[in-house]
Amino acid sequence: MRLAGKTAIVTGGGSGFGAGIARKFAAEGCHVIVADLNIDGAQHIADEIGGRALTCDVSDGASVNYMAKSVLGAGPLDILVNNAGITHLPSAMEDVSEEDFDRVFAVNMKSVYLTARAFVPHFKERKRGAILNVASTAGVSPRPRLNWYNASKGWMITATKTMAVELAPDGIRVNAINPVAGETPLLKSFMGEDTPEIRAKFLSTIPLGRFSTPEDMGNAACFLCSDEASMITGVAMEVDGGRCI
Ligand SMILES: NC(=O)c1ccc[n+]([C@@H]2O[C@H](COP(=O)([O-])OP(=O)(O)OC[C@H]3O[C@@H](n4cnc5c(N)ncnc54)[C@H](O)[C@@H]3O)[C@@H](O)[C@H]2O)c1
């Protein structure tokens, strides 16, 4: 029960890695608010783990502020996981539409600013708090044809480090995890199409020889957000089976 008595928000918690993080947090005694644009997915996970579902569009300031008002009105928050993210489809960088570019940057980057604006004052007041950003190996060791997605995750890693150093005097820790390609609904979008050949190509770059799982992310997130990691801030930890070596 490493998160007993704590409350966490997991954005994008209705699917994939976010659901894995929400499940692990709940199993470790945490009260989890599953915040997602897809309320059906969020409700499904919240029902399963005995948490609370909330609709939120993390790219929209009013929606994030509403989430903050609703969550903080019910009690203090200990952990914020910025997990919701999207990608454009693999394509030559100049062929990605402006609309897709704007959407990737709003969901993957602007959301980190919006949640910081909404929750950092609360964490500062309490002189404690843990923020975890779900970035990607794409921000460290990028593949071609996903340029604007890769860049958004590189931005997230830099934001994590800057947030960590600026918020450390207030007792707030900020870390990131960098998942390698994982078994979630998003995987198909990264691969372009899901064929045995493309799967084999992706797997050949992962020394441990398998895709990552929502459980892998839950375990890493739990450690970084628990008091066991009380001396750890500003890291962007690869959860990648050795892909970035
Ligand atoms: N799956 C991978 O291979 C992989 C690898 C590295 C990093 N990541 C990152 O992990 C995170 C989770 O990805 P996943 O693979 O679990 O994807 P997923 O598609 O399974 O889940 C993402 C969830 O985020 C929600 N979401 C999307 N836009 C939102 C918004 N504007 N506001 C609120 N919720 C929103 C979706 O409804 C969905 O429930 C993302 O940040 C992604 O970039 C994924």
pLDDT in tens, 120-158: 999 999 999 999 999 999 999 999 999 999 999 999 999
Q: Residue 22 in contact with residue 214, Cβ under 8 Å?
A: no
Locate 66 and state its tokens: 């509403």
Summarised one tens digit per residue, pLDDT across range 62-86 is 999 999 999 999 999 999 999 999 9
Closest Cα to atom 36 of ligand 1: 12
Average pLDDT, integer, range 158-180: 99
Going by their DSSP bridges, the two strands 52-55 and 31-36 should be labelled as parallel
CA 161 to ligand 1 center in whole angstroms: 21
Tell me if 147 is assigned to some domain: yes
CA distance 128 to 18: 23
Q: What is the mean pLDDT of the chain?
A: 98
CATH number of the domain bearing residue 74: 3.40.50.720
The DSSP code sequence of 44-78 is: HHHHHHT-EEEE--TT-HHHHHHHHHHHHHHS---
By most ligand atoms within 8 Å of CB, the mutation choice from 15, 107, 187, 189 for ligand 1 is 15
Domain that holds residue 186: 7-238
Average pLDDT, integer, range 180-208: 95
Tell me if 214 is assigned to some domain: yes
pLDDT of residue 174: 99
Residues of the chain with pLDDT > 90, as a percent, come to 99
pLDDT of residue 18: 98
Tell me if 245 is assigned to some domain: no
Average pLDDT, integer, range 110-123: 99
pLDDT of residue 222: 99
Average pLDDT, integer, range 40-67: 98
Domain count, the chain: 1
Tell me if 80 is assigned to some domain: yes
pLDDT of residue 146: 97
Positions annotated as catalytic residues are 149
pLDDT of residue 4: 98
Summarised one tens digit per residue, pLDDT across range 197-225 is 999 999 999 999 999 999 999 999 999 99
Q: Residue 77 in contact with residue 31, Cβ under 8 Å?
A: no
pLDDT of residue 141: 97
Tell me if 2 is assigned to some domain: no
pLDDT of residue 47: 99
Residues with CB under 6 A from ligand 1: 11-12, 14-18, 36-38, 41, 56-59, 83-86, 107, 134, 136, 179, 181-182, 184-187, 190
CA 84 to ligand 1 center in whole angstroms: 4
H-helix segments, 127-213: 147-167, 187-191, 196-203
pLDDT of residue 46: 99
CA 83 to ligand 1 center in whole angstroms: 6
Tell me if 203 is assigned to some domain: yes
CA 119 to ligand 1 center in whole angstroms: 21
Tell me if 142 is assigned to some domain: yes
pLDDT of residue 7: 99
